[in-house]
Amino acid sequence: MALLDVKEMTQYFGGLCAVSEFSVSLEPGQMVALIGPNGAGKTTVFNLISGFYKPTRGDILFKGESIKGLKPHQVTGRGIARTFQNIRLWFEMTVLDNIRIAQHHALGYGLWDCFLRTPRYMQSERAIEDHAMDVLTRLGLREVAHEYPKNLPYGVQRMVEIARALSIRPALLMLDEPAAGLNSSDVEGLIKLIGDIHKDFGLTVWMIEHQMDVVMTLCSWIKVIDFGATIAEGGPAAIQNSPEVIKAYLGDDTI
């Protein structure tokens, strides 16, 4: 059974059709890419799936259940985590706290436990902290656990954001332009990191990316959209040679 099954998802903003009849089916363990020119509606697709917008039409099935209309935090609780195009960490609190807060879905206690510091509360807090440190260690971020993200270099901030998404223990990780703003040596590190994460955590990874070396190295399947509509899909080689894709990126050469 497909992990994520998006069926003819369509979204209008006023009269503008941002995403039109978008369908995709992701098998567990796949690594796929969503590419397209600027303004094609890629981030909107991610926003629709993560529950930030509710699609006008169509349905989204995750592990066989519809997640359409769920609130973002519920979607995340089901096992879909994502990162953002522009880094959205909580810059005024430590890296460790950033990870801890992302465990709200796994909070095993309520307000009263928190007032009374019940065993349940203590246990849950300890588990959360151990898990957070564990994720940070696995990504080699242990040293920065008590730093504030605002003081970290851009590349490390990106890593922290990925760590935060991973700490949710997702089945599906959606990366929105993970390589944006990174220099070429950082990009190489990123390619290795994503490959490792994919293997170690046994995830399905879906990314939006403009840098073709990232996409072509990592992804087995690529979907191309433009003006909200799918224009091509297939393996890396097929996409590279697709006349539709070349036209979308470079324009029509008949002019």
Partner 1 sequence: MLQSFLQNILNALQWGSFYSLIALGYCLVYGVLLLINFAHGDIFMVGAYIAFFVSMVLLGKYGAMAGLPGWLVLTLAVPLTMILTAVVGVTLERIAYRPLRRKGVNRLYVVITALMCGLILENGNLALLGASRKSFPTLIPVQVYTFFGITVTNIKLMVIGVAFLSFLLLHFIVTRTKIGMAMRAISYDRFAVPLMGIPADTIIVFTFVLGSGFAGLAGLFFAMTYPVIDPYMGALIGWKAFIAAVVGGIGSIPGAFAGGFLLGFVEIMVVAFFPSTFRDLIAFSILLLILSIRPTGLFGVARRTKI
Partner 2 sequence: MKRLTVPALLAAIFAVLLWATMTGVLNAYWQSVIMFMGVNVILATSLNIINGNMGEFSCGHAGFMAVGAYVSSLLSVALFAKSAVFGDPLLSPDLAVWLFPLVLLAGSLAASVVGLLVAIPSFKTRGDYLAIITIAASYIVKSTIENIGVIGGARGFMGMTGVMNAMNDTAKLPWILIWVFLGTVFSVCVIRRFIYSTFGKGVDAICQDEIAAEIMSVNTDRVKLVAFMVSCGLAGLAGGLFAHILGYVNPGTFTILKSTEIMVMVYLGGMGSLSGSVLAAILMTLLIEYLRDAFGFINTFLHYISVIPDSYEVTQVWKWVLIPLLLVLLMQFRPEGIMGRRELADVFPGLRKFYKFKG
**Where does this chain bind partner 2 (CB under 8 A)?**
50-52, 71-73, 76-77, 81-82, 84, 88-93, 97, 100-105, 107, 109, 111, 114-115, 117, 121, 124-125, 128, 164-165, 168
Looking at the Cβ atoms of 176 and 226, the one nearer to partner 1 is 176
- What minimum distance in Å lies between the beta carbon of 68 and partner 1? 19
DSSP class of residue 150? G
Query: Given the complex with partner 2, which of 44 and 124 has the nearer CB atom?
Result: 124
End-to-end Cα spacing for the chain: 46
157 forms part of the interface with partner 1 (CB under 8 A): no
Candidate segments 3-11, 84-92, 123-131, 163-171, binder of partner 1 by CB under 8 A: 84-92
Would you say 234 and 222 are in contact if contact means Cβ atoms under 8 Å apart? yes
Residues facing residue 222 across a β-bridge: 33, 234
Please choose, from the candidates 104, 90, 152, the residue with its C-alpha nearest in 3D space to the C-alpha of residue 132: 104
In the sheet that holds 80-82, the strands lie side by side as 80-82, 172-176, 204-208, 31-35, 221-226, 229-234
Whole-number minimum distance, CB 39 to partner 2, in Å? Answer: 20
User: Counting every residue, how long is the chain?
Assistant: 255
Instruction: Summarize as ranges the residues that interact with partner 1 (CB under 8 A).
Output: 13, 43, 47, 52, 84-85, 88
